[in-house]
Structure 1
Amino acid sequence: MKKRILILFGLYIFTFTNPSYSQTRELGGVGEMLDGVIAIVDEGVVLRSELNNRIDIVIENIKLSQESLPPEQIAPMPPLSILEEQVLEQLILQEIQLQRAERFGIRVNDEMVNLTLSSFAEDLGLSLDSLPEALLLQGINYNAYREETRQRMIIEQLQQRDVFARIIVSPREIGLCLQKSSVSLAEETDYNVSQILISLPSNPSQADMTNAQNKIDEIYKSIEDGIDFSQLAITYSDGQNALDGGSLGWRKGSQLPTLFNEDVINMEEEEYSQPIQSASGFHIVKLNEARGVTEVIIDQIRARHILIQPNEILDDDATQQKITEIRNQIINGDDFSTLAQALSEDNASAAEGGDLGWVEPGIFVPEFDEQLNQLNHNEISQPFKTRYGWHIVEITDTRRYNNTEELKERSCVDQIRGSKAEEELELWLRRIRDEAFVDNKI
């Protein structure tokens, strides 16, 4: 289970309870106090204990990632000094974001944390009540784990507010995406990619540019010499996924940062790019794996309904009686569409004779879906109640529908937004880092 926990929760700080976490720790042969301040970040601090805990998680994850590799492919562990530098930068960025979230009043309550931890426990085949004991068996303190989960959720809300919510996808961008996609969704591809980023400050000097260029060139040469890409990412990359070996995970082609979208699409698996320059720095990207996507065929129904809602004049019983009378009128030959236009209180569908259009099962409230699942073609339901009022519904048609093109357009929107998000997040992180006061004690 420890392996699953580490992989699922990534590189968040855990407080371990095993004996190796004593009051001192040897680093480079020098004993250092565990609880010393390692960095001052605006109005907060990063403690040596936080740094040490995070480093241990990183080392454990690196070991786990190498378990399935043959011995000749296992790269040596990066020097502790390199890990210290990388991990401390991650903790500094975390502290900056948490302080920023506090200033904006972003909070995550216990109920929200419980929902997230319940989902996590379910993935492990556990209940929320049994999670603390399971974590303790792995040497992980539940309260610290819970607080780190809360911090992660706060940061996600902050990034949503400051970055993702401000990303706009224009109709023109969607149109261009659809034009470029001359193949069907069945032929589109998902890409598993990794990157190494050497970042630049917000307003780089010529010396900054030269140093970053030289560093990325040295890394590129190391890749050509056969050094493992993920180890180089862990050691040198400034990207937020550096400690995961630079992994960006699975992305649709257009969901990749536009900077290297075309490079990746034209790569073979295990191929890597030349250094690429962007506003945030210099990148090298590697394609780990690619896979195709099949067409999407779904069952759809076409339905129409009439809704009558209780009000000051009609109580619930009277409303039920009225919808029953309307149903009887239809059974006796009156036109459903005409009655819906005249009487239904669902204004959106009433204008269309009660027509709800072609829909997929499962999109309505449970009571409505239950009726649809029971009806035959052209059968009118008995009156039933939902939170909106009393209904009758009829299925007028069914079909097997190729939803590929609609999904393709929806996919374009998601991909463009995702592509912009990756770039905007990197720039935003660099900006708030540059604006913060940081006194690094290492």
Structure 2
Amino acid sequence: MKLQKLIAVAVTTCFVLGSQAAETKVDAVAAVVNNGVVLESEVNEMVQRVKTNASRQNQTLPSDRALRTQAMERLILNSLQMQMAKRMGLQITDPQLDETIENIAREQKMTLEQFRSQVVQEEGSYEVFRERLREEITTGEVLRANVQRRIYVSPQEIDTVTKLMEQQGASNEEYNIGHILVALPSQPDAAQMKDAEVKANKIIELLRSGSDFKKIAIASSSAETALEGGDMGWLNINEMPTLFADQIRGKKKTDMIGPLRSGAGFHILTIFDIRGANVVEFEEVNARHVLIKPSIIVSEEKAKNTLANFVKEYKAGKGDFAAFAREHSEDPGSKLKGGELGWADPGKYVPAFRDTLANMKKGEISEPFRSDFGWHIIELHDRRTVDATAEKKREQVTRLIYNRRYNEESSNFLRELRDQAFIEILAETE
């Protein structure tokens, strides 16, 4: 503990300028997190970002003190995950970051220059945006790596859920859920249980009397979605935690649900919106690709340029895709087939691959792009819509169960990570 306190003093001292007669504090430590720190400037910047986003959406916000508390919690979790990423040797390289930004720009139908201008206009600094995005990708990878290994979906579970969905006439209906968590410690005593229950009941009373859900979530929720106003995004009922799914089923838009008790605390839910009833068709894509993996011998630049030069030749009518794939591709599953992947659900591919396919037209070849596996090019042969066959339904059910478990285990992992850490929140500076 002495070490952490010395860190706090040392870092704060580094940000103090001037003589003993007139010191000017440029920055200060807001919290000590294991052997790292959260700075006041980081807290203030996150609070300001939430305010700016809320202003754009005409969203009312709670007090600055409540915003500060939520920002502090988010930054503490980010710090813990970044520390774990360092221990894991996980690093997002500049080429990976550039590829992600290119994908974001493409999704928004912008050139890189247009996207960069928008970022500067909205956020002030493109470099700050890049580093924040790098951190978001890193923390996402830490979460995925640690949560995936906790999840196993058995064939028996798939059979059970498939039969249940058939009996209930379940559809692909999706719910946009709002969530507020009044958290409990790992082993709460009777007084802590009572206090949390009273707080949860007061919150539900406020909501049922017309208070804004997102404002209350930002002010009072302990869930990781607090700064987003409790918005969990769009979920099929079978992707939600079981506790939520049992209560959401049959409810209507704007209904209030809870408080619901779990090991994490008391949950309050609402339904922001519902969409996609009775969707029973899926899109499949037929494509081929080439993968080149950077290595000690093949640099990132060489891998990308090899693919870029081939794309140029191919567009000029000089290249043979199948021959190029057989010679250069490092994907063992498709190399000998000339890069052919066959018909597949694009959701099975990694995000960078899936997102590139989503923006391609029939017969188009992509420019080189980076995924976790290396550098790719894709040629899209065709798209088709297929019926939800028994096999496809089984794949869908597997994905739904996995997503539900992932949501549950993500919350458990983050709570355990925080519980095991040394955290000291320092007094707010004036």
* Interval of TM-score (by shorter of Structure 1 and Structure 2): 0.5 to 0.7
Quick one: structure 1 residues 167 and 362, their matched pair in 2 at CA, closer, same or farther if it must change by over 3 Å? closer
Q: Alpha carbons of 1:125 and 1:439: their partners in 2 closer, same or farther (altered >3 Å)?
A: same
Q: Secondary structure at the match of 1:254?
A: coil
Larger radius of gyration: 1
Tell me if the contact between 2:284 and 2:345 (Cα under 8 Å) persists in the aligned partners.
no
SS in 2 for 1:274: strand
> Are positions 1:441 and 2:430 aligned together?
no
For residues 104 and 65 of structure 1, the distance between their equivalents in structure 2, rounded to whole angstroms, comes to 38
Alignment of 1:262 with 2:246, yes or no, is: yes
CA distance in 2 between counterparts of 1:147 and 1:34 reads 21
Shift of 1:182: 1.7
Corresponding residue to 1:57 among 49, 66, 69? 49
Offset of residue 130 of structure 1: 4.9
Q: Describe how 1:31-430 pairs up with structure 2 within 5 A.
A: 33=25, 35-66=27-58, 75=60, 77-182=61-166, 187-291=171-275, 292-296=277-281, 360=343, 402-430=387-415
Q: What secondary structure does 1:268 align onto?
A: coil
Deviation string, structure 1 residues 385-421 (Cα, Å, up to 9, x no partner): xxxxxxxxxxxxxx99523433322121111111111
Contact 2:175 2:234 in 1 (8 A): yes
Determine if contact 1:46/1:91 at 8 Å carries over to the other structure.
yes
Counterpart-to-counterpart distance in 2, 1:210 and 1:191: 31
Report the count of equivalent residues.
Answer: 318
Unaligned runs of 5+ in 2: 1-15, 17-23, 287-332, 347-361, 364-383
1:369: which partner in 2?
Answer: none
Task: Decide whether the 8 Å contact of 1:253 with 1:265 is kept in 2.
Answer: yes
Q: Deviations over 1:23-80 (max 9, x none)?
A: 9xxxxxxxx95511111111111111111110011111222222xxxxxxx65x3111
Going from structure 1 to structure 2, the CA distance change for 1:155 and 1:197 (only over 3 Å counts) comes to same
- TM-score in terms of structure 2 length: 0.68
Amino acid in structure 2 at the alignment position of 1:295: V
Q: Displacement, 1:145?
A: 1.0
| Counterpart Cα distance in 2 of 1:52 and 1:400 | 48
After superposition, the CA RMSD in angstroms is 3.1
Amino acid at match of 2:343: E
Q: Give how far 1:185 is off.
A: 8.1
- For residues 146-188 of structure 1, what are the alpha-carbon distances to aligned partners after superposition, in whole Å with 9 as ceiling and x for unaligned? 1111111111111111112321111111111111112698833
Once residues 38 and 119 of structure 1 are traced to their aligned partners in structure 2, the CA distance between those partners, rounded to angstroms, is 35
* Percent of pairs with identical residues: 29
- Aligned residues of 2:27 and 2:39 also touching (Cα < 8 A): yes
**CA–CA separation in structure 2 for the residues paired with 1:437 and 1:207:** 25
Contact 1:273 1:284 in 2 (8 A): yes
Give 2:426's aligned amino acid: K
Q: Distance in 2 between matches of 1:273 and 1:203?
A: 25
TM-score normalised to structure 1 length = 0.66
The offset of 1:296, in angstroms, is 1.5
| Distance in 1 (alpha carbons) for counterparts of 2:385 and 2:111 | 39
Change (3 A) 1:222 1:297: closer
Q: Structure 1 unaligned runs (5+)?
A: 1-22, 24-31, 67-73, 302-347, 349-353, 364-372, 375-398
Q: Secondary structure at the match of 1:40?
A: strand
Cα distance, 1:432 vs. partner?
Answer: 0.9
